[in-house]
Amino acid sequence: MSLSFIIVPMRSLYRTRRLVQGDLARDIALVLLAGGIVGVSFGAIAVGAGLPMWLPMLLSLLVFAGAAQFLFVGIIAAGGNLVAAVLAGLLVNARHVPFGFAVGDVLGSGWRRWMGTHVMIDEAVAFALAQRDADRRGAAYWVCGVGLFVCWNVGVVLGAVAGTALSDTATLGLDAAFPAVLLALVLPSLRDKATSAAALMGVVIALVATPVLPAGLPVLLALLALPIALVLRGARGRADAGEVRESACAAEPGEEASCPSR
């Protein structure tokens, strides 16, 4: 009983290591490194703005969502209202609701699910969705999510302690690297014409809404394009979608009942 506490996580760790190697491991490692550097800048910016050293650390540990943390710290540093800062942060994080529906199946159950929920972050979701079979989806999600949690928090502590050494990540071009990471990961899905048409529409909606709506809301409005994508996909043959689904089924025997019988 007490041994299984050690053996079960060890075994799943070994399995995860086997699934995430080579290119995928290197890709995730690069994102973790970049995440750590942005963490350093977040810690340094927060302390440099005159906020207590523990604030960026506590936020990174408990909230763990980059965009919301930058916004929260920005509002407070500017002398803004605490309630406004919390609401702004929650609005930016509202996108995790649809994300949770999309990747909820990789989280497992019990303590794993509670932990996996906390590390649900854009990059982990994108890495998971970019994998073809179910096992690799889960492995990519966990390695990226937990890895980023560690690197981000270590980075924030370093930045908060070291101060303003590296507060401007724009000189390194990291502000361009993160959208590029997400773009590279969603690109395979965008090769489907209906999806790319809807995505383009969603991007336009979000961009038009950005100057007039509070942060977080414009991105959510992109979901208005979802019915269009579904109609377009329904009208066409569903051949390629079925193909992807089948490879997922092959990797997950327990799910066979829900697979198309072809």
Partner 1 sequence: MSEQMTLIGAVVVLAAGTYALRACGPVLRERVRLPRRAEEAMTLAAVLLLAALVGTAALTEAGGFAGWARPAGVLVGGVLAWRKVPFAVVVLAAAATAALLRLAGVP
Q: Which of residues 51-90 bind partner 1 (CB under 8 A)?
A: 52, 55, 58-59, 62-65, 68, 72, 76, 82-83, 85-86, 89-90
Q: Does 148 participate in binding partner 1 (rule CB under 8 A)? A: no
Q: Which position among 22, 79, 179, 253 is part of the footprint of partner 1 (CB under 8 A)?
A: 179
Q: Does 10 participate in binding partner 1 (rule CB under 8 A)? A: no
* 127 close to 148: Cβ distance less than 8 angstroms: no
Q: What is the DSSP string of 164-204?
A: GGG--GGGGTHHHHHHHHHHHHHHHHHTSHHHHHHHHHHHH
Binding string to partner 1 for residues 208 to 237, with x set by CB under 8 A, is what? --xx---x--xxxxxx-xx--xx--x----
Q: Please choose, out of 10-18, 38-46, 153-161, 164-172, the segment that lies near partner 1 by the rule CB under 8 A.
A: 164-172
Q: How far apart are CA 138 and CA 255, in angstroms?
A: 15
Q: Does 42 participate in binding partner 1 (rule CB under 8 A)? A: no
- CB closer to partner 1, 10 vs 98: 98
Q: Find the largest Cα–Cα distance for the chain.
A: 63
187-to-113, 129, 246, 252 alpha-carbon distances in Å: 28, 11, 21, 25
Q: Please choose, out of 9-17, 41-49, 151-159, 171-179, the segment that lies near partner 1 by the rule CB under 8 A.
A: 171-179
